[in-house]
Structure 1
Amino acid sequence: MEGTIPMSSNTRIAVVTGGSKGIGLEVCKQLAASGITVVLTARDETRGTAAVEQIKQLGHSDVIFHQLDITDASSVARLSDFLKSRFGKLDILVNNAATDGIEHVIDPVYGVMPGGETFDGMDAHQRTVWMWSTCRETHEKAKQGVQTNYYGTKRVTEALLPLLQSSSDGRIVNVSSNFGLLRLFRSEDLKNELNNIDNLTEERLDELLDMFLKDFETGAVDARGWPAEFSAYKVAKAAMNAYSRILAKRHPELRINCAHPGYVRTDITRNSGILTPEEGARNITSVVLLPEDGPTGAYFHEGPQASFV
């Protein structure tokens, strides 16, 4: 953690999860450049501290590191306590930390993490096909994916909600994905249930996620109509989208939105993406910085508002 930052009463405070690299790091840079005090969080203290130094070298001094593992309740509680004692409020939460929910297979030609030039001349579909051909889905990784991408995000959100409600303009942006769109579900019943926000509950989301993991374990993903390929990632992101919409209805005083950054060159895409992390981050910060009377409970696809389906 860094030393004290002088703060005026109208300074906006932002927390970014998974902020030490990739899209998260670029979001931290862009928010800091907008005059917002940024609390950059990451699991790894060494990487997080180095990321803060990198941003400070760009001339943005209002950035602090705080350790955070979104899957660890005590780590989340420590962050919440720190924010409460230091700032007494939170204006912006960007839930960016995520995992891919798959096991990587080493490509015999390119290794685990190819250079970006490997994919020159390949379109997005071809790059995704390559990604799928160099991974395998295991029950353990699927479980980890759901625990991190849905339950970890939810844990942080619930812990920081009171601080966001102490802001005059509290907002949450959940970094989502076009992989979380409901059109990828092959069961119309599942698709309709996840889209029926008036009747969907958090308890039912828990039941659906349990059902998915059981179906995964027994090899019934296809038969039950869950998404194919990267299914744990897709299901967890769809659940997070639904949770965001439930929360937006429950807390009309907050702006709670989901944003797809695009297909970005990061560790999760193994450098196969088309956009740079900076370009992807811009698609997130544009939603963070929407006007006070902007939409809530909405999904943004690489900038513009779009459908969850």
Structure 2
Amino acid sequence: MKTVLITGANRSIGLETTKQLSEKGLFVYLGTRDLAKGEEVVKELNKKGFQNIKAIQIDVTNAESVLEAKNIVEKEKGKLDILINNAGILGDIPQSPSATSIENIQKVFDTNFFGVITVTQAFLDLLKRSENPRISNITSGLGSLTLHSDPTWKYYSIKAISYVSSKTALNAFTVTLAYELKDLPFKVNSIDPGYTATDFNHHNGPGSVESAASFIIKHTLLDENGPTGKFFSNDIEDESEESPW
């Protein structure tokens, strides 16, 4: 049975991804900053028939918390097959480049960028023990500089500096990490679940959490011939589902 860790998994897309992976027979560590809340979520999932899920406390902005989570996974499973870096925050709105405080930008980067690096580096040795390790960095179409430069793009007017730049940086991490691990059986990709209606955005998105989670899983459970170092988006109306960087 493959083992998965999903950060920020106690609600919204992370929670739905947990449910769908559980249904596929994987063991899922449901990452949550508040362990008590996470355990309550797991209890509710168990009542609904979802199995092989365990809440694990992990605050991606706290290196000690990340290390403790890594030690738990190592003790219980000995390895990690899939890491889904899902935890993310929007930051205070509005976010104009000329007026947004450095504190606001740093707070968003601490979770969306530095947090991903902290978690990935901590769990890398456990992932290397897997026969087919996978790392999925959950990004946003708003991280595409190419699309942000296109006035015809439907989200062209959304220029939230803290969030946008954090996801662009995350995409850069994906590219460089995929290159570093290219001679190993890793698949490392950025995955944009699309503009999804969640409490993250006050349920404004047109997409469903079910579709978002299914898209993440599709581009995470890749076989040995699957791509690495790519940027997939659920908002791209193209057979490849690849977004420009």
**Common fold: TM-score over 0.5:** yes
Per the TM alignment, residue 30 of structure 1 is displaced from its structure 2 partner at its CA by 0.6
Q: How many equivalent pairs are there?
A: 230
Per-residue deviation, residues 47-84 of structure 1 (Å, max 9, x unmatched): 21122122222322201111110000000000111111
Match of 1:89? Answer: 79
Match of 1:246? Answer: 176
RMSD: 2.0
What SS does structure 2 have at the residue aligned with 1:173?
strand
**Partner Cα separation in structure 2 for residue 145 and residue 308 of structure 1:** 23
Matches within 5 A, 1:22-171: 22-103=12-93, 137-171=100-134
The residue type paired with residue 24 of structure 1 is G
Q: Does 1:306 align with 2:242?
A: yes
Moved more, 274-283 or 74-83: 274-283
Unaligned runs of 5+ in 1: 1-10, 105-131, 187-226
Residues 137, 230 of structure 1: 8 Å contact kept: no
Residues 187, 222 of structure 2: 8 Å contact kept: no
**Structure 1: 4+ residue segments shifted above 4 A:** none
Q: Which structure's CA Rg is the greater one?
A: 1
**Partner Cα separation in structure 2 for residue 305 and residue 249 of structure 1:** 21
**Partner Cα separation in structure 2 for residue 74 and residue 280 of structure 1:** 31
What SS does structure 2 have at the residue aligned with 1:243?
helix
**Partner Cα separation in structure 1 for residue 7 and residue 121 of structure 2:** 14
**Partner Cα separation in structure 2 for residue 237 and residue 53 of structure 1:** 33
What SS does structure 1 have at the residue aligned with 2:199?
coil
The residue type paired with residue 64 of structure 1 is K
**Partner Cα separation in structure 1 for residue 49 and residue 148 of structure 2:** 45
Match of 1:283? Answer: 215
Moved more, 267-276 or 172-181: 267-276
**Partner Cα separation in structure 2 for residue 171 and residue 148 of structure 1:** 20
Residues 197, 208 of structure 2: 8 Å contact kept: yes
Match of 2:154? Answer: none
Match of 2:152? Answer: none
**Partner Cα separation in structure 2 for residue 30 and residue 153 of structure 1:** 22
Match of 1:204? Answer: none
Per the TM alignment, residue 137 of structure 1 is displaced from its structure 2 partner at its CA by 4.0
Residues 102, 138 of structure 1: 8 Å contact kept: no
What SS does structure 2 have at the residue aligned with 1:84?
helix
Per the TM alignment, residue 229 of structure 1 is displaced from its structure 2 partner at its CA by 2.3
**Partner Cα separation in structure 2 for residue 30 and residue 263 of structure 1:** 19
TM-score (norm 2): 0.88
Residues 103, 141 of structure 1: 8 Å contact kept: no
TM-score (norm 1): 0.70
**Partner Cα separation in structure 2 for residue 139 and residue 273 of structure 1:** 28
The residue type paired with residue 103 of structure 2 is E
Matches within 5 A, 1:176-255: 176-183=139-146, 229-252=159-182, 253=184, 254-255=186-187
Match of 2:203? Answer: 271
Per-residue deviation, residues 168-223 of structure 1 (Å, max 9, x unmatched): 0000011110000022566xxxxxxxxxxxxxxxxxxxxxxxxxxxxxxxxxxxxx
Match of 1:6? Answer: none
What SS does structure 2 have at the residue aligned with 1:50?
helix
**Partner Cα separation in structure 1 for residue 195 and residue 79 of structure 2:** 33
Query: Percentage identity across aligned positions?
Result: 34
What SS does structure 2 have at the residue aligned with 1:245?
helix
